[in-house]
A = this chain, B = another copy of it.
């Protein structure tokens, strides 16, 4: 029996924890703000290139949440590709403990967020099989081979070495 006397939280679609203090989701709408407050976010990392909506900006301001935007257009055949430098920039924001707790989102929480999450898994040394399995779980039914190839070919060594030195890695569970 549902708890009719209590409010149900409106969780954004595709919401999940990546690791401790890093969350992922689709684009949060005002209905989701009450839920998001419970995460006590310090930062939001937005992967869309378009201007952020006024009401979302207001939410960040009211809750003292830092705003990071690393706009990218998604890996679509045949011509649009996410530049690896852009993912590197996003990764450096995402795994920096100074920005945690942090929420990563794009529009659907499938492709751009999926690429970035996949690159975080690379930094955690997950096998590509399990990275792709997770990618497809969130991207279903629209998984893109190009995204998976991007995750596979992304050269994470530089970020990895730098993050190790700064003691940002290994990420805490």
**Whole-angstrom distance from the CB of A71 to the nearest CB of chain B?**
25
Encoded as 1 (CB less than 8 Å from any B CB) or 0, chain A from 1 to 27 comes to: 111001111110111111110010000
Segment at the B interface, from A55-63, A74-82, A86-94, A153-161: A153-161
Q: Which residues of A come within 8 Å of B, CB atoms?
A: 1-3, 6-11, 13-20, 23, 38-40, 101, 122, 124-128, 130, 133-134, 137-138, 140, 152-153, 155-157, 160, 170, 173
- If over half of A's interface residues share one DSSP class (helix, strand or loop), that class is named, otherwise mixed; here it is loop
**Contact yes or no, A11 B130, CB < 8 A:** yes
Question: What's the nearest-Cβ distance from chain B to residue A146, in Å?
Answer: 17
Contact of A17 among B14, B17, B39 (CB under 8 A): B17
Tallying the copies of this chain within the complex gives 2
> Closest chain B residue to A19 by CB distance?
B17
Query: How many angstroms between the C-alpha atoms of A18 and B11 in the bound complex?
Result: 14
Q: Which residue of B lies closest to A35 (CB)?
A: B126
What is the bound-complex CA distance between A13 and B152, given in angstroms?
A: 19
Contact yes or no, A17 B126, CB < 8 A: no
A126 touches B8 (CB 8 A): yes
A173 to B125, CA, bound (A): 24
Chain B residues, Cβ within 8 Å of A153 = 1
Query: How near does chain B come to A161, taking the closest CB pair, in angstroms?
Result: 10
Residues of chain B lying within 8 A (CB to CB) of residue A140? 137, 140
Chain B: minimal CB distance from A3 (Å): 7
Partner of A173, one of B17, B156, B160, B173: B17
Interchain CA distance A156-B137 in the complex, whole Å: 28
Query: How far, in whole Å, are A156 and B8 apart by their CA atoms in the complex?
Result: 14
